[in-house]
Amino acid sequence: MSLPQTPTFALKGKRALVTGAGRGIGQAAAAALASAGAHVICAARTTSEIEELAGEIRATGGSAEALTLDVMDLDAVNAAVARLDPVNILINNAGTNRPASFLDIKIEDFDFVSNLNLRSAFAVAQAVARRMVETKTPGSLIHVSSQMGHVALPNRAVYCATKHALEGLNKVMAIDLAPHGIRSNTIAPTFIETPMTKPFFQNEEFKSMVLSKIRLGRLGQVEDLMGPVVFLASDASSLITGTSLLIDGGWTTG
């Protein structure tokens, strides 16, 4: 008997671009991809953070470089991607949130959150995908969405709107890019303890509400996302596109 062989999770010889890599989810994604063998381009606005990250990856035997990039600057995004050797993997991660009641949302906050979470995510994905198609490079686009792209929560109208839109955009990217051997998926985490979310949990009432909805009874950690990122980047997920991998501890079960 000849047993089926498990597809590889290894990423040796692959190149990955990670946006928002300076901290939190982006930092963890970069570390995960590097540990699986990929060369990682760590992109963010703060040069010191990504240079430190790239240095730590190299110090542990991985391969990485730093790319100072503001993804809100679309001309800079296109220029940076054009200069890079083509990548096989994109972690489309840069994002933010400015919680407020729907009645109190300021239009400048709406514009800032939607421009970063959706417009910039679109632009980065488009630039990377165009370069992949131009160079005939197959690969995997992984967009960091949220469980809030599937459900809703008070005081997060703009964030929910952008993540729901990203989920829809992901499905169309999967369809349009499939003929080129490019897959597109999202990961949709629950609340992950990061520098952006930690201030929310200083409110004990809010923290208790969150924990009551996460069936596994704990907040997420960035390590919870590292395996899923490697899976979606690797050949182990070669038939998966246009879907969302919910990493929500059971929140969306109802």
Annotated catalytic residue 159:
yes
**Where does residue 3 rank: exposed (0-12), middle (13-18), buried (19+ CB within 10 A)?**
exposed
Q: CA of 25: how far to CAs of 32, 61, 104, 132, in Å?
A: 10, 21, 29, 24
β-sheet bridge partners, residue 65: 41
26, 94 contact by CB (below 8 A) = yes
Largest distance between two CA atoms of the chain: 66
Catalytic residue among 53, 148, 159, 222: 159
CA 212, 216, 219, 223: dihedral to nearest 10 degrees?
-170
Name the pairing type of β-strands 15-19 and 182-189.
Answer: unpaired
Give 47's DSSP letter: H
Cα–Cα dist 42/56, whole Å: 12
What positions carry a catalytic annotation?
A: 159
